[in-house]
Amino acid sequence: FTEPRPIRDLKAEYIGASSVNLTWSVDNTDLKPDSYRIQFVNDTSVKELTFSDPKAEITKLIPGTMYNFTVFAVVADNKTEGVSIDLYTKPSPVLDLKAEYVGVTSVNLTWVVNDSASDLYTYRIQFVNDTSVKNLTSSDRKAEITELIPGTMYNFTVFAVAADNETEGEGSSIDLYTKPSPVLDLKAEYVGVTSVNLTWVVNDSASDLYTYRIQFVNDTSVKNLTSSDRKAEITELIPGTMYNFTVFAVAADNETEGEGSSIDLYTSKSQFL
């Protein structure tokens, strides 16, 4: 027969991707449980475990899956009426998070999920810079994040979310700089026989941290120099020669470059030729 239920305050102390820790208390009754039986059920299986104390660690669960846990007290070989709780295990962290595309104001991310329950997942993408924390949700294993600030470092963290739209897995993160905007108003302040002075304008809010790569090309060579200012003097040029000068803004990681802005110029002919 089934005794009255002495179990109360059944709750999860910990929920992981493949394990759950449950605790409960026993009413002050004359019934002193000999043990506790826990039945845990998902869509495909029913299992039972026995514990001697009013707590249990249940392992080898499926990530991102809803389980019904029912706890029975066993008194003199009789089960009391059970008390139940429904819980989702956490999804596993997403894998292989990477940027398929990095632009000036947008980034396209992709990732992989191997959980058997992942067809029911959604994903929360958190993106953080020095001044803001924002979130968006994707129902697919990819996301386009727009309206970003040019030339700025963002931390992107992707969390898989189970079908209850609440239970999140651990986040997987990647740090990326958006590309700087192209420099504007590139022009020559001075053109000499063997040197050229260039200036340009940059309007990005992050531009105080930029450096600039200046590439200068003629028919026979490709050379580069770096400037920390919005101007550059390029020397040791060949007199009377056409050069293509391209200026790239470089973000604070010294790697992420914007699109180049170009100008074609002839150096002056030597007066001694």
Query: What would the pLDDT profile of 107-122 be if each residue is shown by its tens digit?
Result: 999 999 999 999 999 9
Strand pairing report for 107-112 and 95-102: antiparallel
Residues 161 and 197 in one domain: no
What is the separation of C-alpha 100 from the centre of its chain, rounded to a whole number of angstroms? 13
Residues 189 and 150 in one domain: no
Residues 22 and 65 in one domain: yes
Least confident window among 231-240, 245-254, 264-273: 264-273
Q: Is residue 125 part of a domain?
A: yes
C-beta separation of 95 from 111 below 8 A: yes
Q: Is residue 272 part of a domain?
A: no
8 — pLDDT class (breaks 50, 70, 90): confident
What's the pLDDT score for residue 6? 78
Residues 132 and 165 in one domain: yes
Domain of residue 47 covers: 7-88
| Domain final residue pick, 128, 149, 177 | 177
Q: How far apart are CA 18 and CA 64, in angstroms?
A: 9
Domain count, the chain: 3
| Domain final residue pick, 35, 53, 88 | 88
Q: How far apart are CA 184 and CA 2, in angstroms?
A: 81
Residues 14 and 80 in one domain: yes
Residues 99 and 173 in one domain: yes
Q: Is residue 273 part of a domain?
A: no
Percent of the chain having pLDDT more than 90?
Answer: 87
pLDDT tens profile 55-80:
999 999 999 999 999 999 888 777 67
Burial of 103 (0-12, 13-18, 19+ CB in 10 A): middle
Residues 146 and 201 in one domain: no
CATH number, domain of 151, equals 2.60.40.10
Residues 18 and 80 in one domain: yes
Q: Is residue 32 part of a domain?
A: yes
C-beta separation of 95 from 126 below 8 A: no
Q: Is residue 123 part of a domain?
A: yes
Work out the average pLDDT over 133-139.
Answer: 97
| Domain final residue pick, 88, 104, 128 | 88
Percent of the chain having pLDDT more than 70?
Answer: 95
Q: Mark 59-73 as b/e (b = at least 16 C-beta within 10 Å).
A: eebbbbbbbebbbbb
Residues 107 and 127 in one domain: yes
Residues 155 and 194 in one domain: no
Residues 11 and 65 in one domain: yes
Q: Which two tokens stand for residue 211?
A: 């450096």
